[in-house]
Amino acid sequence: MINTLYLSSTSGCFEFQNDLPFYNDKEYNIILNGKTVKSGCKENVFSLFDLTPNSEYELKVSTCDEVVTFKTSPESCCIDVRDFGAKGDGHTDDTVAIRTAISCLPALGRLYFPKGVYLTAPLFLKSHITLEFAEGAVLLGSTDKAVYPVIPGVCRDNVKDCDIPFGTFEGEERSKYQSLITGEYATDINIIGRGTIDGNAQNSKWWIDYKEDPIARPRLVFLNRCSDVTLHGLIVQNSPSWQLHPYFSENVNFYDLSINAPKDSPNTDACDPEACNRVNIIGCRFSVGDDCIAIKSGKIDVGRKYKTPADHHTIRNCLMQFGHGAITLGSEMGGGVTNLTVNRCIFNSTDRGLRIKTRRGRGKDAVIDGVLFENIKMNNVLTPIVMNMWYNCCDPDRFTEYVWSRDHLPVDDRTPYLGKFTFRNMTCENCHVCACYCDGLPEMPIEEITVENISFTYSPDAKPGKPAMRNYAEEFLRGGMYFDNVKKLNISDVSVTGSDTEGLITKNVGSVQSRNLVCTK
C-alpha cells in the first residue's frame, strides 16, 4: 500500500506502508499517468516534482497493482525570481531581488528559482507562499557577517507590558544573528524542490572562534511560532549552526530531505524541533557534525515560563549517518518531550542511536514520557541506547557537585523526570562501547524501560569509549546492557553476543522482568 504524505501545487511525496527500515525489499519503477518517470528506486519514501497545479494524476509503481489517484493543490500564480532582477550567477548579490519578490508575492503564490546560484543575505518568509528551487538551483548564504542582522531574544510590548519572543539559542531566549531563511509568526508556507539551500559556512568564519561572539550564530532555517510549514525534497547543508530549527511551532513537516555538513563542523545539528507540536520527519537522510535530530523544549527558565513540551513528533523511514546521536532528546528539555514515535529507520556510524540528555537543574516540567522506537537497524553505532540524567555540557554549573553527586538528593523544582520508554524489533550490529547505557538519578529513577526483540553484536575492531557525557564517566569496551536507577525493567527476546562484560548489568533497579535473554561472550 502507498500512502500520500504531502501534496503541493507542483510536487508530491509518497510512502510505502511496510515494516522495512528506509529501503524497500525490491527495486521499483514509478509510473505517472501511464508513463515511467523514475526507474530503479529503492527507498520507502519517494517524491515527484514538476507537476501541474490543480491537476489530477494516477500513480503506480511496478511492484504492485495499486493505483493511487491524487490532485495537486491550486495556486494563485507562479513568478520567476529573475523577473525581479535576480541573476543567479553566484557572484551578484541577489538579496534585494529575492526580498522584493517575496514581499510582492500574493497569497497562494509560488516564487520559482530556476537553475543557478543565488547569493543572498538573510531572508524573511511571509504567510501563504511557496518557494520552489528547481534542480540545480542553489540559495547560497553570504559569507559577510555584517549582512546578518541581530534579532533580539525578546522585546517588550509597550502596551501590554509583556515579552514578545523572537530569538533563541541552546534553550534560552537570547539574541541571535538572523538565519538565512527566517519565519516569525507566519503560517501556510511551503519550501520545495530538488534544489539546495546552502549556508556556505564552510567558506565563512562561522565555524571559527564562534564561542567568542556573545550573539548566537544563525541557523539555516529558523521558524518561530509558525504553523503549517513544509520543507520537501531539498538538499539542506552547511549551516553556521543548527540546520533546521522550528521553535514553538506546530504542524511542521520535513519530507524527503538530504541534510549535510562535514563531520567536524561544530553544532551543525540537522533538525532540532524545539517546544513544537506535531512535527513529522519522514524519508530524510542525515550526515552532519553533531546530532542528526535533537528534540528540545528549552532550559529551565523557558520550560517554567511557557510550559510547552515537544509533543507528538513522528520520525519514520530516515537514514542517519555519522553525527553524535541519531536521535537525541535534550539536553534542553525544560518543557518536556512527550509522545515520540520513531519507526523504520537506519542508523549508520553515529556515536549513539537514541541519546537522552538531561540533568539536575532542567526542572520539574522537564518530563520525557511516551517514547517508542521500533523497526530500527543500527550498524557501527558506538552505543545504540543511551539515557543519561547526568549530562555535563552547555551550562556554567556543569562541573559542580550538584550535577555529579551520586547521593540521593532532595526532589525539588529542579528535578527532571524520565517516564516510559519502549524499544522493540531492532538489530544493532558492530557496537563498540555498550549495547545500552541507562543511568537515572537516585532521587528520580527512570520509570520504566521495555527492551523487546533486539539483538546486539559487537565490532571485531571495537574501540573503548565513554557511553555518556557525564562527570567521572568510566570507559567501556563491548559492554553489555547497563541499567542504574531504574524503577522497572522489562526484557524479552533479547540477545547480546560477544560482550566483554556481563550481558546484563543492573544496579538500583526496582523490578526486573526477563524472558528469553541470551547473553554469550
Per-residue pLDDT tens digits for 366-410: 999 999 999 999 999 999 999 999 999 878 888 999 999 999 999
Cell numbers given for 431: 557496537
Residue 262's pLDDT is what?
Answer: 95
User: Which ranges in 307-441 belong to alpha helices (H)?
Assistant: 401-404
Residue 281's pLDDT is what?
Answer: 98
Of 254, 280, 306, the one marking the end of a domain is 280
Residue 222's pLDDT is what?
Answer: 98
Residue 394's pLDDT is what?
Answer: 78
Cell numbers given for 134: 528547481
The CATH number given to whatever domain includes residue 11 is 2.60.40
Q: What integer best gives the mean pLDDT of the chain?
A: 97
pLDDT in tens, 173-213: 999 999 999 999 999 999 999 999 999 999 999 999 888 89
Strand partners, 455: 427, 495
Are residue 82 and residue 59 in the same domain, yes or no? no
Look at residue 375 and tell me if it is in a domain: yes
pLDDT in tens, 224-242: 999 999 999 999 999 999 9
Residue 24's pLDDT is what?
Answer: 96
Which residue in 358, 355, 359, 365 sits closest to 325, CA to CA?
355
The CATH number given to whatever domain includes residue 116 is 2.160.20.10
Q: Which residues contact 161 (CB under 8 A, 6 or more apart)?
A: none
Residue 393's pLDDT is what?
Answer: 84
Are residue 269 and residue 301 in the same domain, yes or no? no
Are residue 58 and residue 184 in the same domain, yes or no? no
Look at residue 286 and tell me if it is in a domain: no
Are residue 428 and residue 498 in the same domain, yes or no? yes
Residue 323's pLDDT is what?
Answer: 84
Are residue 25 and residue 37 in the same domain, yes or no? yes
Residue 279's pLDDT is what?
Answer: 98
pLDDT in tens, 329-346: 999 999 999 999 999 999
Residue 67's pLDDT is what?
Answer: 96
Residue 21's pLDDT is what?
Answer: 98
Are residue 163 and residue 183 in the same domain, yes or no? yes
CA angle 157, 214, 152 (to 5 degrees): 15
Which residue in 503, 462, 376 sits closest to 427, CA to CA?
376
Residue 396's pLDDT is what?
Answer: 85
Residue 220's pLDDT is what?
Answer: 98
Distance from C-alpha of 179 to C-alpha of 198, rounded to nearest angstrom = 12
Residue 209's pLDDT is what?
Answer: 86
Per the listing, cell 509583556 goes with: 162
Under a CB-based contact definition with an 8 Å cutoff, are residues 178 and 186 in contact?
A: no
Under a CB-based contact definition with an 8 Å cutoff, are residues 363 and 303 in contact?
A: yes
- Pairing mode, strands 310-316 and 337-348: parallel
Of 49, 71, 93, the one marking the end of a domain is 71
Distance from C-alpha of 53 to C-alpha of 190, rounded to nearest angstrom = 14
Are residue 320 and residue 398 in the same domain, yes or no? yes
Where in the sequence is the domain holding 322, given as residue range(s)?
291-521
Look at residue 94 and tell me if it is in a domain: yes
pLDDT in tens, 133-175: 999 999 999 999 999 999 999 999 999 999 999 999 999 999 9
Are residue 305 and residue 204 in the same domain, yes or no? no
Per-residue confidence band for 482, with pLDDT thresholds at 50, 70 and 90? very high
Percent of the chain whose predicted confidence (pLDDT) is above 70: 100
pLDDT in tens, 17-42: 999 999 999 999 999 999 999 999 99
Residue 325's pLDDT is what?
Answer: 92
Look at residue 285 and tell me if it is in a domain: no
User: Taking 90 as the threshold, does the pLDDT of residue 215 lie above it?
Assistant: yes
Are residue 168 and residue 251 in the same domain, yes or no? yes
3-class DSSP assignment, residue 212: helix
Of 219, 246, 280, the one marking the end of a domain is 280
Are residue 305 and residue 349 in the same domain, yes or no? yes
Look at residue 348 and tell me if it is in a domain: yes
pLDDT in tens, 85-118: 999 999 999 999 999 999 999 999 999 999 999 9
Distance from C-alpha of 238 to C-alpha of 242, rounded to nearest angstrom = 9
Q: For the chain, what is the domain count?
A: 3
Q: Which residues contact 512 (CB under 8 A, 6 or more apart)?
A: 489, 491, 506
User: Taking 90 as the threshold, does the pLDDT of residue 362 lie above it?
Assistant: yes
pLDDT in tens, 275-316: 999 999 999 999 998 999 999 999 999 999 999 999 999 999
Higher-pLDDT residue of 255, 322: 255
Per the listing, cell 507542483 goes with: 10
Look at residue 215 and tell me if it is in a domain: yes
Under a CB-based contact definition with an 8 Å cutoff, are residues 487 and 512 in contact?
A: no
Residue 211's pLDDT is what?
Answer: 86
Distance from C-alpha of 321 to C-alpha of 380, rounded to nearest angstrom = 10
Which residue in 297, 299, 296, 239 sits closest to 270, CA to CA?
239
Look at residue 347 and tell me if it is in a domain: yes
Are residue 254 and residue 337 in the same domain, yes or no? no
Under a CB-based contact definition with an 8 Å cutoff, are residues 73 and 7 in contact?
A: yes
User: Taking 90 as the threshold, does the pLDDT of residue 44 lie above it?
Assistant: yes
Residue 419's pLDDT is what?
Answer: 98
Look at residue 314 and tell me if it is in a domain: yes
Are residue 49 and residue 125 in the same domain, yes or no? no
